[in-house]
């Protein structure tokens, strides 16, 4: 039996030309970074879901702009398949506080990355098209890729 596709909303938040990313692996199980956000709950718009997720994961209140990237990935071993819709977003209240704790205990770290840091190869992040989507114009589509941890 096929599993339903999960829809998630993610935020591309630039501050001083640096992109906010989170590590969503409790207890440092992985060094993989991603844009804040998460699974959409039925009955709420994608922007409303995104504002809720970003607040939970970072303590920031954001305004949500237009979509910038659609990315999908799957795990052939489990059948998990997710479509992420990345929206441009702006901080309207709050600041990154090292003492902030994600109430669900998923996000273990959060920080802003410069474009050259992401290009350096020092940090692992997904999707690979994240820098292009962040610093380029127009929406992008990043085809189905195999999930990594």
Residue 116: in which H helix or E strand, if any? helix 115-119
More confident residue, 68 or 102: 68
Instruction: Report the predicted TM-score, pTM, of the whole model to 2 decimal places.
Output: 0.89
Instruction: Tell me the mean pLDDT in the region 2-21.
Output: 94
pLDDT bracket for residue 99 (50, 70, 90): confident
* The CATH classification of domain 6-99+106-146, taken from the options 1.10.357.10, 3.90.180.10, 3.90.79.10, 1.25.10.10: 3.90.79.10
Residue 120: count other Cβ atoms within 10 Å of its Cβ.
10
| Contacts for 93-98: CB closer than 8 Å, 24+ residues apart | 93/60, 93/61, 94/58, 94/59, 94/60, 94/61, 95/59, 95/60, 96/20, 96/58, 96/59, 96/60, 97/59
Give the integer Cα–Cα distance in Å for 31 and 54.
20
pLDDT > 90? residue 145: no
pLDDT > 70? residue 122: yes
């Amino acid at each position: 039996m096929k599993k339903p596709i999960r829809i998630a909303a993610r935020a591309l938040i630039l501050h001083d030309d640096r992109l906010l990313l989170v590590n969503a692996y409790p207890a440092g199980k992985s060094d993989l970074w991603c844009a804040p956000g998460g699974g959409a709950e039925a009955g709420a718009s994608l922007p409303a879901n995104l504002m809720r997720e970003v607040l939970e994961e970072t303590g920031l209140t954001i305004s949500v702009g237009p979509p910038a990237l659609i990315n999908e990935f799957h795990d052939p071993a489990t059948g998990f398949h997710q479509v992420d819709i990345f929206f441009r977003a702006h901080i309207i209240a709050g600041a990154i506080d090292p003492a902030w704790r994600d109430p669900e205990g998923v996000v273990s770290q959060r920080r802003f990355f410069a474009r050259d840091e992401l290009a350096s190869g020092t940090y692992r992040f997904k999707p690979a098209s994240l820098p292009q989507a962040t610093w380029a114009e127009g929406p992008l589509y990043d085809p189905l890729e195999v999930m990594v941890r």
